């Protein structure tokens, strides 16, 4: 089992790679299109701004290889900004559109009573889809670590596998066929996050 972690200069790559290796995966941290195409699964991490991330993906031709490999039904995991990039556009973006693999957009939290932006720290998962293999063995109430000001809003609510409450109930895990995305950081989420990454390694 070989997993490509796409290195486009905007990801928390080291800790993700170490966690996946712990569960027996061979890891290729790469921005080379042939290497990505040759792997069994793909992870797109991400921290930073939507426009900058899409600009880097397009500059390196990685947007096209991602779309091609997803179309070929290769298991794909987007983490934090890596999830947001899967959608069509973002309120954060000034110039760039997203990959458009999932229909919908990324929206910004509105400041509410007692809710600070960014949403940072531990919060509960509410598991919506018991069929989502990425969440296998994780009950509602499992805690994961967030750091974000924007969240995904898919057009098709049936792809929402889990939500979190932060002044509003927002989608934090999306799943459509071979495509998975998490708004939180599994690599920072201790035992729960490790279970999610183990589940990804074990996907058929």
The CATH number linked to 172 is: 3.40.50.880
How far is 28 from 66, CA to CA, in rounded Å?
15
More confident residue, 167 or 126: 126
Active site residue 172: no
User: Residue 111: what pLDDT?
Assistant: 79
Tens digits of per-residue pLDDT, 6-46?
999 887 798 999 999 999 999 999 999 999 999 999 999 98
Sheet containing 126-127: give its strands across.
26-30, 2-6, 41-44, 76-79, 179-182, 169-176, 160-165, 126-127
Marked catalytic residue, from 39, 132, 148, 185:
185
Name the DSSP class of 23: T
Per-residue pLDDT, 113: 60
Distance CA 40, CA 74 (A): 7
Domain count, the chain: 1
How do strand 26-30 and strand 2-6 relate by DSSP bridges? parallel
pTM of the model: 0.96
For residue 112, pLDDT over 90 is answered with no
Range of the structural domain that residue 74 is part of? 2-201
**Strands 169-176 and 179-182, sheet pairing:** antiparallel
Active-site hit among 39, 80, 132, 172: 80
List, for residues 70-95, the tens digit of each pLDDT value: 999 999 999 999 999 999 999 999 99
Q: Residue 10: what pLDDT? A: 82
């Amino acid at each position: 089992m070989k997993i490509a972690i796409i290195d486009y200069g905007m990801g928390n790559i080291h800790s993700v790679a170490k966690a996946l290796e712990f569960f027996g995966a061979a890891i290729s941290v790469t921005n080379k299109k042939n290497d990505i195409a040759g792997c069994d699964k793909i992870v797109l991490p991400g921290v930073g701004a939507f426009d900058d991330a899409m600009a880097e993906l397009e500059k390196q031709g990685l947007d096209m290889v991602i779309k091609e490999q997803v179309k070929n039904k290769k298991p794909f995991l987007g983490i934090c900004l890596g999830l947001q990039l899967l959608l069509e556009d973002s309120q954060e973006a000034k110039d760039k559109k997203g990959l458009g693999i999932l229909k919908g957009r990324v929206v910004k939290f509105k400041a509410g009573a007692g809710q600070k932006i960014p949403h940072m720290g531990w919060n509960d998962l509410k598991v919506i889809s018991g069929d989502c293999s990425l969440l296998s063995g994780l009950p509602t109430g499992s805690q994961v670590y967030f750091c974000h000001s924007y969240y995904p809003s898919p057009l098709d609510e049936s792809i929402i596998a889990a939500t979190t409450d932060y002044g509003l109930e927002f989608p934090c895990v999306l799943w459509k066929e071979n495509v998975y995305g998490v708004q939180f950081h599994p690599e920072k989420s201790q035992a729960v996050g490790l279970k999610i990454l183990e589940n990804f390694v074990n996907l058929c």
